[in-house]
Amino acid sequence: MVARAPFRRFDRLPTRARAIRLGWLLTALLCWGALPGSSVARAAACAAPFHEGLEEAIERVTAELAETPDAADLYLRRAGLERLHGDFEACAGDLERTGELEPDLPGLALGRSRLARALGAEAEALAWVDIELRSETLGPDLAFEALELRAELLGSAGRPADALAAWTTLIDLHPAPSPDWFLARACFQEPEAAVRGLDDGLARIGDSISLLLAACDLEEELGRIDAACSRLQKVADSSARPENWYARQGDLLARAGRPAEARERYLAARARLQERPRQQRLTASARRLATHIDTALAELPR
Domain boundaries of the chain, sorted by first residue: 223-302
What pLDDT score does 198 carry?
Answer: 98
Indicate the length of the chain as a whole number. Answer: 302
Ranges of residues in the chain with a pLDDT under 50 are 1-16, 18, 25-47
Rounded (10°) CA dihedral 130, 132, 137, 141 = -100
DSSP 26-49: TGGGGGGGGS-S-HHHHHHHHHHH
In degrees, rounded to 5, the angle at the alpha carbon of residue 30 between the alpha carbons of residues 202 and 178 is 30
Query: What's this model's pTM, rounded to 2 decimal places?
Result: 0.79
The answer to whether the CB of 157 falls within 8 A of the CB of 127 is no
What is the full DSSP assignment across 246-277?
HHHHHHHHHHTT-HHHHHHHHHHHHHHHHTS-
Q: Is 168 exposed, middle or buried (0-12, 13-18, 19+ CB in 10 A)?
A: middle
Contact (Cβ atoms closer than 8 angstroms) between residue 214 and residue 189: no
Own/partner pairs, 207-214, CB within 8 angstroms, 24+ separation? 207/234, 207/238, 208/179, 209/235, 210/24, 210/27, 210/179, 210/180, 210/183, 211/179, 211/182, 211/183, 214/20, 214/24, 214/183, 214/186
pLDDT score for 228: 98
For residue 48, the model assigns a pLDDT of 53
Q: What is the pLDDT of residue 98?
A: 98
Residue 46: per-residue pLDDT: 44
Half-sphere exposure at residue 146, Cβ-oriented, CA atoms within 13 angstroms = 24
pLDDT at residue 207 in the model: 85
Q: What is the pLDDT, as a whole number, of residue 123?
A: 97
- Residue 132: CA atoms inside 13 Å, Cβ hemisphere, count? 28
Cβ atoms 90, 111 nearer than 8 A: no
Summarize pLDDT for 265-280 with one digit per residue, the tens.
999 999 999 999 999 9
CA distance 168 to 182: 8
Write down the pLDDT at residue 302.
81
pLDDT score, position 31: 33
What is the pLDDT, as a whole number, of residue 204?
96
Query: What is the H or E stretch that residue 86 is in?
Result: none
